[in-house]
Amino acid sequence: MQRILLSFLMIFHFLNSHSQSIEPLEITDEWLASIEKLAPSKTTISTDSKKKILVFSKATGFYHWTIPHNIEMLKILAKKTGAFEVHVGYDIEQFTKKNLKKYDAIILNNPNPAGPERDLFSDLLKANTSLSEEQIKTQAPKYEENLINYVSKGGGLMLMHGGIVVQNNSVAFSKMTGGSFDYHPKQQEIHVKEVDKNHPMVKAFKGNGLTHVDEPYFFKNAYFDYNFRPLLYMEVDKIEGMKEVADEKVIYVSWIKRHGKGRVFYSSPSHNAHSMQNPELLQFFLDGMQYVVGDLKCDDSSIGKK
């Protein structure tokens, strides 16, 4: 009995020490004040023009609790630096050609779609219109095309964490964003590192990378074309709970790329609002915003297939 009890205690200690469950944070005055204090007071690149940004934040499938926190954080970055004008959108009409033209960049703030179809525009049409199934099948691709054309003609696109899932089964969308979501193991402490410590987009981390608790995203589809300039990576042998052994030694979790005349920035960090307590991450997001609107010029050439 004593051996059984000892074994149970050892297993319990192991599970408890390796568990990284994080409770959601409330958006309180204190939390807002802390982000205000940690946020950069000026942009990396000085600019006289205020850029207009749409932060699309409607999830029809899995709901990331950090969506409203991201909105508040982006508003703080915009207000504190005076470099951006942030507008928050939730409905399908945000993706009409006419409406997209209003903005210098779009931020997809975890708008995860539902079901195996992983088609946000179809979901939004079902929720906001009385169209038939056949009409939705015809109309939904037009909204995806609107967004892709918007970027290819010079618009900016920033994808936060689950934003990459928006049209997860679309080849065209995957090529534009640099990849599609495959799966993620359990939340755990991850040390993401800079691919090139001298790249302007990662200078915020000062060569130390970022250690935080997050969902380690793995990718598929266009990801393996490596048609992007990687910024941050995680070491595969440090990740627990993978569904299979990965051939790659590293997985890129953030990158920038060109799509036509437009610019795309993807950041898998972060799933949890707790990560925003790292001022380096706030600076990284701000630099990403400056990159997609065209203010921050840097090497965004693709590395191509390995």
Q: What is the pLDDT of residue 221?
A: 97
Q: What is the pLDDT of residue 12?
A: 32
Give residue-wise pLDDT tens across range 191-221.
999 999 999 999 999 999 999 999 999 999 9
The angle subtended at Cα 274 by Cα 41 and Cα 73, nearest 5°, is: 35
**Burial (CB count within 10 angstroms: exposed 0-12, middle 13-18, buried 19+), residue 16:** exposed
Instruction: Kindly indicate the confidence band of residue 11, based on its pLDDT and cuts at 50, 70 and 90.
Output: very low
Angle between the N-to-C axes of helices 279-292 and 67-81, in degrees from 0 to 180, rounded to the nearest 10: 70
Q: What is the pLDDT of residue 178?
A: 98
Instruction: Kindly indicate the confidence band of residue 14, based on its pLDDT and cuts at 50, 70 and 90.
Output: very low
Q: What are the Cα distances from residue 158, in Å, to 18, 151, 153, 231, 291?
A: 32, 11, 15, 14, 9
Segment 43-49 shows an average pLDDT of: 94
Segment 258-286 shows an average pLDDT of: 96
Q: What is the pLDDT of residue 228?
A: 98
Instruction: Kindly indicate the confidence band of residue 8, based on its pLDDT and cuts at 50, 70 and 90.
Output: very low
Between these two residues, 169 and 22, which has the higher pLDDT value? 169
Q: What is the pLDDT of residue 20?
A: 56
Alpha helices, DSSP H, located in 178-238? none
Q: Which two tokens stand for residue 180?
A: 């599609």
H or E segment to which residue 263 belongs: strand 262-267
Give residue-wise pLDDT tens across range 108-155.
999 999 989 999 999 999 998 899 999 999 999 999 999 999 999 999
Domain architecture of the chain: domains with CATH: 44-292 (3.40.50.880)
Segment 173-183 shows an average pLDDT of: 97
pTM over 0.85: yes
Looking at the predicted structure, is the pLDDT value of residue 298 above 90? yes
Q: What is the pLDDT of residue 21?
A: 63
Instruction: Kindly indicate the confidence band of residue 243, based on its pLDDT and cuts at 50, 70 and 90.
Output: confident
How far, in Å, CA of 108 to CA of 56, rounded? 5
Instruction: Kindly indicate the confidence band of residue 306, based on its pLDDT and cuts at 50, 70 and 90.
Output: low
Looking at the predicted structure, is the pLDDT value of residue 13 above 50? no
